[in-house]
Chain A
Amino acid sequence: MVSRRSMLFALPAAFGYLGLRRNLRASVAGGVKRVAVVFPSALEPCSEAVEGLRLRLSGHEVAVDLLDVNQATFGADAAQEMARKPAVTVAVGSDAVHAVLERSFQGKTVSTMTLEADRAGDASQAGQVTAAVYLDIPIRTLIAELRKLFPEKTRVGLIRNPGRGGNTASQIRSQAAEPGSLEIADCATAEELLPVFLAFRKKVDFVICLPDGSLYNSATARPLIMASLENRLPLVGFSPAFVRAGAAVAVYPDYRGVGQQTADLVRRCLEPGDCASWETPRKVDAAVNAKVLRMLGMEFKAAANPDLVVLR
């Protein structure tokens, strides 16, 4: 059961998408700029981001056209949209980024709801994406959220996959407000995950897990969470699902906020000039698993975060 706020993201974007498909056939009045938003409706977080983006752009003389990569008619819809020459094309999620870059959308391309590590090694994007809002939460922000909830816990460990790209260990360490309080361990494969995690015992108060499907999935979740409980070493996850599974706490982007942030970026890109910007989420959410915290013997400061989601 969830308190304070629902963990399930509503799907107003789906209804918005159905309504706004009409825009694909509508003509745009003079002075109104066209923005194409390519997104996967099957992913609820992306739909939530699109809703945030759409609402933020409403009333700014911008016509937003939604194209769903999960629809069978996407190819035809994309061709139709390209003919209209949108000023900015927003790609939401990596599938949408690939779909946009495969086609010759004119104008500027803004990528959002992707992870920087997933994009870093992708040569096809070099020079093609004008600006981006990544989902990577700066380590400084992450640690600050943990300190709000658990003021006495100051030592933090982080598991990093060196094979995924993104920031190096020294770059991550330099981003921390107190670099000495952050210990980083590399883990390249799922087989190494448990020994790497266990090596943090008695050295840190938390172990941060960064989004990485090769390390954290249905096969590795159980032994990792069991080890966390057995050794009383809490996991800091990256999603509500991870908290539901058994991580003690998670800090994750506010997806609607990412959409709003993307809308601000889009508005800058609609103006003449350079709008290149690589941003991280301005707003983050946090969730705790009260049951797991009780099993670990930990208390948290609920009042520190009025929007905290508490799973029981």
Chain B
Amino acid sequence: MTNHFVDMKNADVIFIMGSNFAENHPVGFHWVLEAVEKNGATLIHVDPRFTRTSSVAHKHIHVRSGSDIAFLGGMINYIIENDLYDKFYVANYTTAALIVSDDYKFEDGLFSGYDDATRGYKNESWQYKTDKEKKALKDPSLQDPRCVFQVLKQHYSRYSLDKVSAITGVSKDDLIYAFKTMGSTGTPDRSGFFAYAMGWTQSSTGVQKIRTGAMIQLLLGNIGLPGGGVNALRGHANVQGATDMAVLYHDLPGYLGMPAPDHKDLATYLDKTTAKAGYWVNKPNFTVSQLKAWFGDAATKANDFGYDWLPKMKGDHSFQQAFVDMNQGKIKGAIFPGQNPAVGGPNTTLMMNALSKLDWLVVKDFFVHETADFWQAPGMDPSKIGTEVFFLPAATVVEKSGSLTNSGRWIQWHFKSIDPPNKDVVSDLDFAIDLGKRLQKLYEGSTAEKDKPVLAMTLNYGDDPDKFPENVLKEINGYAITDIVKDGKVLVKAGEQVPSFVVLKNDGSTACGNWLYSGAFPKEGVNNTARREREKPGEGIGANLKWAFSWPVNRRILYNRTSADLDGRPRSDRKKVIWWDAEAELPDGKKGKWVGVDVPDFKGDLPPGTPKLKDGPFKGIGGNDPFIMNTEGCGRLFAANLKDGPIPEFYEPFESPTENAICPVQNSPVAKVYKTPENILGKADKFPFVLTTYRLTEHHLSGVMSRNLPWLAELMPELFVEISLDLAKELGLANGESCTVETARGKVRAKACVTDRLKPMTINGKKVHQVGMPWHYGFKGIATGDTVNTLVASIGDPNVFIQESKGFLCNVRKGV
């Protein structure tokens, strides 16, 4: 999130789309109700189904699953046409005025630079038009037909109310209601909060859906304000932490980016991947400090700080690709700590086939789940499977200390409450450290190049496992290796924790596991993530600066410089966050700094109006450039760095009941359709209904933790499929009756949940039925059921390869 949970209470409009907030974040949802109760906020829920979130919303709008960009594009069009955008904000804090390259065009559903052969775009034509000094040209009046604002306006002019209504199935009245209500937050004294989740992400155009949301918030001037922002509701207690620490293959902790094979040395990697302006110019400090944290004394200037020991990203090694590779016998073994791909992975048949090709499999979890027992799944023949499976029991959250990072970037520490039941039950951290040390012992004395990174790893977390978590956090925070000196004074002594990433260096004198988390443990014995002091009522805007630690440097609302005008004055009293105080004293005696109710997301002593700095950590950022991480200093309405286009365009899901009505290209021309026998796509003649998959409050992800818990199993004991009254009549299905749901990939048995909360829709003139299923079930546990991912195809968004598990085609029929 750019904002955070508590901040929701400041919103005037809460727009929940691609999310079932109340059911999946019941505790966080309390802040939504605060906004409604105490701030008079309007709550809108746009969802294919009427859910428990809808039951407390002022308005629920049924939308066809998969049609989000049409809806949001329509909102952009409406906002621009009806002058609802924040003119000052758009002109000054976004890239609206920049001129796009003369070579940029969008025609017949394709952006310039498309290469059929590679199914990819070259993005040279998506850059800005520059002058001789390579500086981007701009038109501050926003009139030039080639400026970003006009390009946007032109692009979304096709997204008329009529067109959008036909594509999404939403009535024009409801569209106007939604657009007008959200559009009402385009004034500086009102803010709207976008909350989204898997409904936006799990799609072949997932990233672009989120982009559209971000662009709307830039147009409305909502980014950087309390109760505003673009806010992902993460689907697991620590998935934000997992993302920050780069559990995904393509990244390094702190979003530093995995090197590619042509980044042949550290200097090349840093040169090619470090921005030339904006705060990311400091990346080398973060990268080298990270290498020092990992490899300690073995990382020296002479060996590029161990850069060669990092794996180089040759291509797509995402989850789906890994299973395709596994299925082709390319992966010999796997370790799954806290993961259950046999239920949670898209295209279960592929998951099962792939697992059975492994030589060995280690599963570490609380219960022996479907992946650990994949070889005994219904339909599997153990005599044909050669995989040796090891099951390692895992300690639960109360049996270990550690931090959890929530959707609002708050890193919150929890303390160990009880010991695990016996010595075999081990935390994932203890396992990882133990494994690392055993490998080091195994490779002891080896001179082979490939063994060097393992031998060089620092695993110095002491001898007491109960102290491991804290010691790891301390390494993540960072420490000085040699004295850090500034202006002749020792800022940080050798061996001491660093106060934040501002003191990190690229010369090997500092170590830091993740620059974003720096400040979490700034001094010996000071664990900021364990703080629990609440803001006093009436004091502040809910930032709760003394509760835990948020990244970066405890900032709660990102981009908060936008809350002030070009003179540093709050644009609105009700939405003020930081402002310039010319008289405020700095530690060095000088005067003038940004003050307010949150940590400024800005250079603290940079006066408003200052021209862009020529060098230093804020190179290229001026006193009125709130988006300090962007080279432009402004929020991007046009983004050259995405794989599928600088601005979002609506494409139909790969399995769709209709033809794309907005442009002649049916599906995303760059999304990945994985080549594997299990990945069969279906058409509407055999599979006429649109299926969306979702989660329930009572179950958690693949059900390992919830379907094994009696009190949750009894609440939601069986797999069901929600179908409308109309469809039930057509199919002759009674409520509770057994039925089969099938796609081109496979079929599952479910009970019919006949409900008026789902409705048939009219899409491009044709009646289309939507159905929905929770995806939690598997063959093990107390509450069992068929695995809904059997129905899902192996398709990936081109930027991040997330699967399209919403808005695909199925058939439903009586009987099993």
A binds B: no
